[in-house]
Structure 1
Amino acid sequence: MAKITRKQLFIAAAPAIVFVIAGTVAAIGGYRINTTPSLPMGIWKVSKELSIQRGHYVSACIDPAKPAMQTAVKLHFLADGHCKGGYAPLLKQIVAVPGDTVTLTDAAVTVNGQELPNTATMKYDFITELPAAQRGTYTVQAGHVWLIANENPRSFDSRYFGPVSYAEIEHTLRPALTY
C-alpha cells in the first residue's frame, strides 16, 4: 500500500478547507453562497433593508405547513438550515406583487399576461411526487408575493408552494459575484 504524504493530504483537503473558510467569511460579512441551480451560482450580498419589489431576489423560509413543503422536508429535498421545519432558506426572485395576476398552467407561469421562460408547472418533481400548486388564475393578495427561480426549469418555487407572505421573507439579496 502506498504511503500518503502530508503534501498529498494537504492538496486533497485544500478545496474543502477553502470552501469552509469562504462560507464562514461570507456568513460573517453578510453574504450568502448559492450552490443550487435555481439562481446564478456564486456569492450574494444580503441587503440591510428588506425590499419587496418585483424583480428583487430574496431568501425566504417558506411555511412548513404548506403541503409541498411538508413533502420536501419529509423527503429531505431541501438542505438543513435554520428555518422553522429545519431546512435552509430558499433563494428566489419576486415575480409577482400585490395586485398582479398570476396564471399557472402545465405549460408556464404567466404574470400580468407575460409568460415567464422555463416555468412549466410540473405535476411531479423529477425525484419523487411533489404536490404542485393548483393550476388556475390568482390575484396576488396584499402582503403576499410569488417567488420563481426560472434559471432552472425544475426549481422548487411558488409553482409548488403557491404565494408567500411577507413574513416568510428574510432578506433581499443582490448578486456580488455570480456565474
Structure 2
Amino acid sequence: MKCWYVWAKRLLWWLFWAIVGLLCLLAGVGIWMQREHLVLNLSTCEPLGLYQLIGNPYPLHDGELVEVELPDPITHPAVAEGLRDHWFPENQPWIKQVGALPGQTVTLSRQGVWVDGRYLPNSHVDRRTPGGRDAILHYPFGTYHLKNGQVWLYAPGNYAFDSSYYGPASQGHILQAAHPYWILPGSQYWLRKGD
C-alpha cells in the first residue's frame, strides 16, 4: 500500500513540474513573439504559420500582405454570419493580400475575381461551408470601381474569407504590412474547395 502512495506522490510531483515547465515555455514563446512582432495565422486564407508585422503599409501595393482588422459585422452581413456561426474567432488577426487599389475595377462572379481584367487565382466564390453544412453569404456579383480609400482584400486559400464575401474594405481597416516568418507552404489548400 505504501509503495502505491509513494508512486502516486511522485507522479503528482512530476505532473506539477511538467505543468510549470509548460507554462514557462508558453510565456517565453509569447514574449518572443511580442518582441519579434509575430502573429499566428490559423486560417485557410494564407499558409498556416507565423507572420511578422513590419509597420506602416503605405503606400499600398497590389499583392502586398497586410494585417487587417475585422470589418464591422453591423454593416457587413457576411462577417456577422461568420462570427455567429464561429467560422473564425473575433480576435484573430487577419492576414490578407491587397487585391485591388483605389481606381481599379473589380469584377466579381461565381467563378472568381478579376482586377482590371486580370484573374486572381483560386478566387472562386464558395456557396457552402466545408462539408456543405451551411450556405455562405457573398458580396453581390457585379463590377465595382474602387473609390478613394477603398481596397479589395484577397486571399488565395481554399475557403478564404475575403472581399468576395464582405465587399471592398476601408483602407482604415489595414493595420500593418506583414511578411511570412515561418509558414507551412500549401496549408491554405488543405481544406478541399467546394462547389
* TM, length-normalised to structure 1: 0.81
Q: Where does residue 96 of structure 2 map in the other structure?
A: 92
2:72 equivalent among 59, 63, 70: 63
CA distance in 2 between partners of 1:17 and 1:122 (Å): 42
CA distance in 2 between partners of 1:119 and 1:20 (Å): 38
Q: Where does residue 84 of structure 1 map in the other structure?
A: none
Q: Where does residue 50 of structure 2 map in the other structure?
A: 43
For residue 134 of structure 1, what is the amino acid of its counterpart? Answer: P
1:25 aligns with 2:32: yes
- Determine if contact 1:131/1:160 at 8 Å carries over to the other structure: yes
1:89-120 residue CA offsets vs partner (Å, 9 max, x unmatched): 32110010011111111111111111111111
For residue 59 of structure 1, what is the amino acid of its counterpart? Answer: E
Residues 28 and 138 (structure 1 numbering): CA distance in 2 closer, same or farther, change over 3 Å? same
1:93-108 paired onto structure 2 within 5 Å = 93-108=97-112
1:146-165 residue CA offsets vs partner (Å, 9 max, x unmatched): 11110x22111111011000
Unaligned runs of 5+ in 1: 82-87
User: Aligned Cα RMSD in Å?
Assistant: 2.6
- Residue 72 of structure 1 aligns to a residue whose secondary structure is helix
CA offset at residue 19 of structure 1? 5.5
1:1-179 paired onto structure 2 within 5 Å = 5=11, 6=14, 10=18, 18=25, 21-51=28-58, 52-61=60-69, 62-65=71-74, 66-81=76-91, 88-126=92-130, 127-150=133-156, 152-179=157-184
Greater share of helix: 2
- Residue 47 of structure 1 aligns to a residue whose secondary structure is strand
Larger radius of gyration: 2
How many residues of Structure 1 are paired with residues of Structure 2 in the alignment?
170
- Determine if contact 1:105/1:136 at 8 Å carries over to the other structure: yes
CA offset at residue 57 of structure 1? 0.8
Q: Identity of aligned pairs, percent?
A: 27
- Determine if contact 2:100/2:115 at 8 Å carries over to the other structure: yes
- Determine if contact 1:145/1:164 at 8 Å carries over to the other structure: yes
- Determine if contact 2:41/2:93 at 8 Å carries over to the other structure: no
Unaligned runs of 5+ in 2: 1-6, 185-195
CA offset at residue 27 of structure 1? 2.6
- Determine if contact 1:124/1:132 at 8 Å carries over to the other structure: no
CA distance in 1 between partners of 2:28 and 2:89 (Å): 19
Residues 18 and 156 (structure 1 numbering): CA distance in 2 closer, same or farther, change over 3 Å? farther
* TM, length-normalised to structure 2: 0.75
